[in-house]
Amino acid sequence: MVWDSFSINISYHMLNHSETTNTIYDIKNPKYWDADSLYAEMDRIYDICIGCRLCFNLCPSFPSLFNSVDEAGDSKRKVAEDQGRVKALKEKDEYLDLPEGEHAVEASQEVEFRGEISDLSDVQRWEVVDLCYQCKLCDPVCPYTPGKEHEFQLDFPKLMTRAQAIRTKERGIKQNDSFLANTDFSGKLGSLFGPVINFFSRISLVRLLMEKLVGIHRKRILPKFYINTFSKWFKNHRSEILNPSEKVAIFVTCYTNSHDVELGKAAVAILEHNEIECVYPPQQCCGAPYLSPGDFDGFQKQAEPNINELYKWVTDGYKLIVTGPPTCSLTLKKEYPDYLGLDKKIKLISENTYDISEYLVYLNKQGKLKVDFKNTIGIVNYHVSCHLKAQQMGFKGRDILKLIPDTKINLINRCSGMDGGWGMKVENFDESIKVAERCVNDINQREANKVCSDCSLASQQLKQASNGTIMPSHPILEIYKAYGLNQN
């Protein structure tokens, strides 16, 4: 089977949007892997989406779908015009002069030229899949989701993952997906040869070779590696907390460990300033990069050591605090239960996982957070991370920043278009930057002293898309400075 021109014969008929026979997201169900079932579900969900269009401006997938369907309708009309069945459509400035009843006649004629799901080519269908970078912004917007208890049971992100998984099972894992998923290996290399890797990643010829070999776009600015990783730093870190009010296990994420060490250190300093005991258990990448191509075997293999280790700490009364990109807290909270099953271990991990900003807000509500801030930060343009929105817990980074005196927050509620590995790939880079440029434009509309984002990857993207004019900081780094901990 050639998946770039995926063909399945289906007799098209009026779709029943409430028919959820093929709405299967249990990867252990054999029907999940059935291509005919997938295609039927694609048709149902695509058809619902083109009739709704609330998500037209969220990501490239939906405009691709809507434009393809609309262009199919335009093509039908062009054929009818060429056959002389209808006159060319003219824009009208005035509709009130039509004789009674002709409005309905015109409308009934135009129904024939409406694009349908059955008009889509296989290339157009799969373009929707390939343009989805799992921001999950459609889920809170969509009125038809299982979370809203609607009979349509529409879960667009899960459909896209299922499509990727079936295609990957047939053709294998692409080289760039395999390379980008192995973050632990690249992190180990970076901890040994960081300065060398950073140097060569700026050489055009090296980047050209990298583009050809592993599919990372030559223009993508790569995050720097640090030899002194967070894990190395924590081994030598000595805490002086004698009577902790709470105890947490830090899940630092592979990104923070290798590329954003200061964020991890600042998080520990803030927690210890608030009399919180911090431990750093053995851990590896959460496994999120394996979900992009639907590599569930790789995902499970990556996740199981984390599950076994973190479960021990949770049962001992520790909360799990994720200090890196929100994708990682989302993975522990939601993706582990969804794709690995909600057993006792995973359930307990999911229920006790907090994003770092979320945890600080929790402490504040418990009356356990110190607000002895020494410095102010002024006006902040706060970029809302997609994967924090997907956790449906509110804007905790904003809320914690608002505790700093004389702080005003402007919400920048637009995706940066990065999503880790998706935005690094050759085939997605240009589209990724286009999405980011819209976010940059929104940020530039509001004057501020700082730009903040909870997502380090989004910060990297916005820095590149703005040519370095926007340098987002993590809210935790700003809290760290506001406490005056950077002056100790």
- Gap between the Cα atoms of 19 and 141, Å rounded: 22
Return the pLDDT at 8.
39
Residue 278 confidence (pLDDT): 96
Q: In what order do the strands lie in the sheet with 246-251?
A: 276-279, 246-251, 319-322, 353-355
- Residue 1 exposed, middle or buried by CB count within 10 Å (0-12, 13-18, 19+): exposed
Rounded Cα distance, 154 and 147, in Å: 9
Residue 487's identity, in one-letter code, is Q
Query: Structural domain boundaries of the chain?
Result: 12-86+96-171, 177-214, 230-365, 379-487
Amino acid at position 72, single letter: A
Structure letter (DSSP) for residue 276: E
Low-confidence ranges of the chain (pLDDT < 70): 1-13, 76-77, 79-84, 86-113, 488
State residue 275's pLDDT score. 95
The answer to whether 42 and 163 are in contact (CB under 8 A) is: yes
The answer to whether residues 191 and 80 touch, using CB atoms and an 8 Å cutoff, is no
CATH classification code of 379-487 = 3.40.50
- Indicate the helix (H) or strand (E) that contains 160: helix 156-171
Global pTM value: 0.88
Neighbouring C-beta atoms of residue 296, cutoff 10 Å: 20
Residue 439 and residue 417 in contact, taking contact as beta carbons nearer than 8 Å: yes
Phi, psi (5° rounding) for residue 330? -60, -40
* Residue 288 pLDDT: 93
Report pLDDT for 112: 61
* Token duo for residue 100: 């009674």
CATH class for the region spanning 230-365: mainly alpha
Helices (H) and strands (E) in the chain, counts: 23, 7
Amino acid 11: pLDDT: 39
